[in-house]
Amino acid sequence: MFVKRESTKLGIYIHFPFCIQKCYYCDFYSLPINQNANDVLDLFVKRIQEELKFRYKEFQNFSEVNTIYFGGGTASFLSAKHLKKILSEIQNYFKLCKNCEITLEGNPEHLYSTEYLLSLKEVHINRISLGFQTSQFKFLETMNRYYQRKHYEKVLSNISQTFENWNIDLIYGFPDQKLQDFWDDLRYCLSFQPKHISCYSLTLERNTLYFKKVKEKSLKEPNYKLQEIIFQKLPNYLKKFGFYPYEVSNYSQKKFYCRHNLRYWLYEPYLGLGPSAHSFNGMYRFQNPKNWQKWIQNFSNHSTKSDPLKEIPITLFRLKIPINHQWIRETLKESSEFVFEFFLKMEKKGFGKNIQKNNYFIWNQKGISMLDTLILEFYNDLDSILKSKINKTSS
């Protein structure tokens, strides 16, 4: 898979902070909203337009936008009219690249409708990301995820008939889930021929209702044993269907990787709009308040200087595709050597291959399975080097 790092082009992320109800496991910033809350939607669009004007000065060096992502929450609450308004406002500030990837993330309660899907196409949305999670309703119920059977039954066929480029999000490792349940789910989804699959293991995040319920013993922990088995088997299984694993949890058919999400892992700039959204202009990171009311009243200008050496392990290291040495050099300049030494060490320990001739490093499955531990090892090495530097200067 050939990927080019494009640090001179910009991506834009728009966070829509509402859902019908809160899934217990959800760690994203989202609030419950009534299906017909038109005033709130109009207010959201107006504030996004104002925020764009406010943030533009930090991003005016980027003349072209190559990805736009409407996420959330449930961004499919936004009508084609709302999306059109936001997209035209973006074009008042930036030029869109010819093949700009424009994704709308949403849920079955909206995306089952062919009429809605066609209206999205009319306003140039060219990629759909569906939060499907599982077709087995008992797991959705356990996790308080909103669903209507009739929408779940229609959504996959309607999306596949309307869009070429679309993703399906799946979750595995629900309490009491069996291996067969997951394979049945996956086979069902594959029969609709998505071009991209994001497969996440159910996680128990602090500050979620799921965490609270597990503590109170009213719900069980995720099925970690099952997660381990699926995590090991999934890449080979999906390869048979033409899916290439390009990130720990993301698989795509040739050329259908998510260019927008790749930008986070490739350390490329992006402008984030909406409550809780982050931005990165290549030097500084900005974060909006995780609070609808605060965001309505004020946009925060708080920024922190980015530290690429500390951020590279949680971005680039997550990639399963070859990690190009040139990307490291462009980002880290003189500190790149430290990362190259780490790659050599990883190769010696049998976690990946460092191909000097082609100038890239690639993890193997053993490395990917231990990624969290290996990232920690990187930070420990970095700490010791920084400490020894301080000792040298003070002695």
Among 14, 19, 45, 156, binds ligand SF4 (CB under 6 A): 19
Residues 168/198, Cβ–Cβ less than 8 Å: yes
CB-based contacts of 233, cutoff 8 Å, min separation 6: none
Amino acid in position 220: K
Task: Tell me the window of 18-26, 178-186, 335-343, 356-364 that interacts with ligand SF4 (CB under 6 A).
Answer: 18-26
CB of 23 to ligand SF4, least distance (A): 3
| 22 touches ligand SF4 by CB under 6 A | yes
Among 107, 165, 208, 331, binds ligand SF4 (CB under 6 A): 107
CB of 172 to ligand SF4, least distance (A): 15
Upper half-sphere CA count for residue 7 (Cβ side, 13 Å):
14
Task: Tell me the window of 20-28, 211-219, 228-236, 265-273 that interacts with ligand SF4 (CB under 6 A).
Answer: 20-28
> Among residues 34, 65, 41, 39, which one has the least CA distance to residue 52?
65
Q: Which is nearer to ligand SF4, 211 or 342 (CB)?
A: 211
Residues 210/204, Cβ–Cβ less than 8 Å: yes
The SS3 call for residue 73 is: coil
| Subset of residues 27 to 86 that bind ligand SF4, contact rule: CB under 6 A | 28, 30, 72-74
Angle, CA of 192, 196 and 198, to the nearest 5°: 110
Q: Which is nearer to ligand SF4, 62 or 77 (CB)?
A: 77
| 273 touches ligand SF4 by CB under 6 A | no
Q: Tell me whether strands 250-252 and 244-247 are parallel, antiparallel or unpaired.
A: antiparallel
Q: Which is nearer to ligand SF4, 14 or 26 (CB)?
A: 26
Amino acid in position 248: V
Among 12, 14, 26, 102, binds ligand SF4 (CB under 6 A): 26
| 17 touches ligand SF4 by CB under 6 A | no
CB of 59 to ligand SF4, least distance (A): 26
CB of 63 to ligand SF4, least distance (A): 33
| 158 touches ligand SF4 by CB under 6 A | no
Residues 146/174, Cβ–Cβ less than 8 Å: no
| Subset of residues 245 to 264 that bind ligand SF4, contact rule: CB under 6 A | none
Q: Which is nearer to ligand SF4, 189 or 346 (CB)?
A: 189
Q: What are phi and psi of 324, to 5 degrees?
A: -70, 130
SS3 track for 187-237: HHHHCCCCCEEEEEECCCCCCCHHHHHHHCCCCCCCCHHHHHHHHHHHHHH
| 274 touches ligand SF4 by CB under 6 A | no
Q: Which is nearer to ligand SF4, 144 or 253 (CB)?
A: 144
Interface with ligand SF4: number of residues (CB under 6 A): 12
> Among residues 381, 266, 366, 375, which one has the least CA distance to residue 316?
266
| 120 touches ligand SF4 by CB under 6 A | no
| 202 touches ligand SF4 by CB under 6 A | no
| Subset of residues 122 to 151 that bind ligand SF4, contact rule: CB under 6 A | 131, 145
Q: Which is nearer to ligand SF4, 140 or 368 (CB)?
A: 140
Cα–Cα distance between 281 and 269 in angstroms, integer? 5
Residues 110/120, Cβ–Cβ less than 8 Å: no
Q: Tell me whether strands 284-287 and 270-273 are parallel, antiparallel or unpaired.
A: unpaired
Cα–Cα distance between 283 and 304 in angstroms, integer? 9
Contacting residues toward ligand SF4, per CB under 6 A? 19, 22-23, 26, 28, 30, 72-74, 107, 131, 145
